Structure 1
Amino acid sequence: MKPRYTFGGDEHLFVEVDEEMSLDAFFKSLSMTRIIAERAIEGVTEICPANASFQVKFDPDVVAPGALLEEVRSIEAEAGKADPVLQTRLIEIPVFYQDPWTHETLMRFRERHQDPQGTDLEYAARINGYSSVEAFIAAHSGSPWFVSMVGFVAGLPFMYQMVERGRQIQVPKYLRPRTDTPKLTVGYGGCFSCIYSVRGAGGYQMFGITPMPIFDPDQKTNYLEDFMVFFRPGDIVKFRPIDRVEYDRTVEAVAKNAFKPKIREVEFDLRAFNADIKGYNARLEGMINGD
């Protein structure tokens, strides 16, 4: 699909790179937004990247909509020639799967769910063909995830599973959204995993919870002192299952400002990844484990 350009009101240009999410679509979107930022186009006030699209906010009194459209279209060809290589972060996220807090919440809202008799994990395991919840958790935590977008609510990451399309987990959202979701819930909707940065309404399936804060507007958390939002588009995430003992220990360390996320600086090459997905993921696993 060629990118589709539409205007959103008088101040926004929306660019849909592709109708479906893929790492190729994300990289083209990322390349285009980077070039737009580098050109410092007069009148552009904000660039908002998404999973396979982006939006440019502009002042129509400074730059005419038609002129901006022509400029961004010219960038499309240039972005297509860019090397799909990204300097980014590989991050380990501890997750307490089947925790008591998301379990209590999901049981309160079973009438809004496709399977009122089971749990979210049981439902997700069954419709994806896994023999048990444990096997499903192993699949969810066994491969890395690519942060393709941060937003919707402040600090919330959308994460795309880095496996062959036929192996991707897919789970629909609740039939009707909940009015409550615990903070730091690891959720799932469609083909995206996420982490709820704040407590609130939500419709994604709930699989577990992380003890690691990812949003701090007061910037009192030691690793969020420079910026209140932890994730960035392009980050690569590796979930690590933990038990209640480690969860409590990590919560205590966070409270004392003694917790530091496990992060490695890496170079991600999309072409090398597509050529050998299993092997590339194994190398990423080795990097986060220090091998």
Structure 2
Amino acid sequence: MTIRYTFGGDEFIFVEISEDMSLDAFFRGTAITRELTRRNIPGVSEICPANASYQVRYDPDVIAPDTLLALLKDIEAQVGEADLDIATRIIEVPVLYNDPWTHETLMRFRERHQDPDSTDLEYAARINGMPDVDAFIAAHSGSPWFVSMVGFVAGLPFMFQMVERERQLQVPKYLRPRTDTPKLTIGHGGCFGCIYSVRGAGGYQMFGVTPAPIFDPTQRLDYLRDFMVFFQPGDIVKFKPIDRDAYDEAVAAVDAGTFSLRVRPVTFSLADFRRDPDAYNRSLVEVLDAN
């Protein structure tokens, strides 16, 4: 894995960990950016991690570009291949799969889809070798997901599925983007999952909706009181399938300002995950079930 460094104007360094987006590239970038944050370097004002890259904003009057570049390469050499322990949190996100709103939307845009005669879930199940939609939903919700970056629109998390590369669900984006996507849609494009934080255009396949707001400038709900954007890179998400009654009940709680997400602190160990991903994922989920 060869890291490429590029200067952006006189205030930015863009660092590409790998051209191939993968959990390994994400973990390596996370280790580097967390160590850079820990060092609190004068002149470094912003550190923005992404799926397989990161960008650093700096003040060239405080730290010279070549000095910062040498520092980043030094951190790469020291921690880039090291085992990674992350103090983070696991979040249970309820999902109404195969909901009526994404279904109505996807039917309006079938001419932009690879398979106009099936739904997004049916298509995703078929190309991943699943016998039916229920099996695909079980695979989608059966393992946790790592939030690798937040962006595109305010509060939208991009997520890697925490399984071996050959087991990751793969579904291409629409042939042409839609002009509409319901708010809080659970989407998927390539190997990435996401949650559309607001209504708008989009090209990811649509699998369901969550009742849980993840971006709210008014910060009405308890888990959004600290910041209007809920997700952070490094968060771990566990999707929980729910039925329509549970969804409606959750929406009513959101409207009343009483809805809350199940969020628990965890320490993620890359070494333990690599040793046995399935067993380690079960131990993470048990943290939610034990409280």
Under a length normalisation based on structure 2, what TM-score does the superposition of the two structures give? 0.96
Instruction: Summarize the alignment of residues 48-67 of structure 1 with structure 2, pairs less than 5 Å apart.
Output: 48-67=48-67
Give the superposition deviation at 1:44: 2.0
Distance 1:9 1:123 in 2: 43
Query: Equivalent residue for 1:243?
Result: 243
- The 8 Å contact of residues 145 and 237 in structure 2, kept in 1 or not, is answered as yes
Query: Equivalent residue for 1:219?
Result: 219
Give the superposition deviation at 1:231: 0.8
The residue matched to 2:129 in structure 1 has which SS?
coil
Unaligned runs of 5+ in 2: none
2:207 alignment partner AA: F
**Worse-superposed segment, 235-244 or 60-69:** 60-69
- The 8 Å contact of residues 183 and 200 in structure 2, kept in 1 or not, is answered as yes
- The 8 Å contact of residues 29 and 80 in structure 2, kept in 1 or not, is answered as no
Instruction: Summarize the alignment of residues 68-147 of structure 1 with structure 2, pairs less than 5 Å apart.
Output: 68-80=68-80, 82-147=82-147
Distance 1:94 1:114 in 2: 28
- The 8 Å contact of residues 3 and 16 in structure 2, kept in 1 or not, is answered as yes
Query: Equivalent residue for 1:155?
Result: 155
Percent identity, aligned pairs only, is 68
Distance 1:275 1:42 in 2: 38
Distance 1:35 1:152 in 2: 25
Distance 2:38 2:44 in 1: 12
Query: Equivalent residue for 2:285?
Result: 285
* Alpha carbons of structure 1 residues 178 and 37: separation in structure 2 relative to 1, 3 Å: same
Q: Runs (4+) of structure 1 moved beyond 6 Å?
A: none
User: What's the CA shift string for 1:52-81, capped at 9, x where partnerless?
Assistant: 210011233433322221121112122236
Distance 1:134 1:256 in 2: 32
Distance 2:207 2:169 in 1: 13
Distance 1:103 1:226 in 2: 34
2:165 alignment partner AA: R
Query: Equivalent residue for 1:253?
Result: 253
Distance 2:109 2:81 in 1: 48
* Alpha carbons of structure 1 residues 107 and 128: separation in structure 2 relative to 1, 3 Å: same
Give the superposition deviation at 1:83: 3.8
User: What's the CA shift string for 1:221-244, capped at 9, x where partnerless?
Assistant: 222111111111111111111111
Give the superposition deviation at 1:195: 0.1
2:54 alignment partner AA: F
Under a length normalisation based on structure 1, what TM-score does the superposition of the two structures give? 0.96
Distance 2:24 2:105 in 1: 36
Distance 1:191 1:252 in 2: 33
* Alpha carbons of structure 1 residues 192 and 81: separation in structure 2 relative to 1, 3 Å: closer
**Worse-superposed segment, 15-24 or 176-185:** 15-24
Count of aligned pairs: 291
Distance 2:84 2:190 in 1: 26
Give the superposition deviation at 1:279: 1.1
Unaligned runs of 5+ in 1: none
Query: Equivalent residue for 1:230?
Result: 230
Query: Equivalent residue for 1:187?
Result: 187
1:271 alignment partner AA: A
Distance 1:93 1:205 in 2: 18
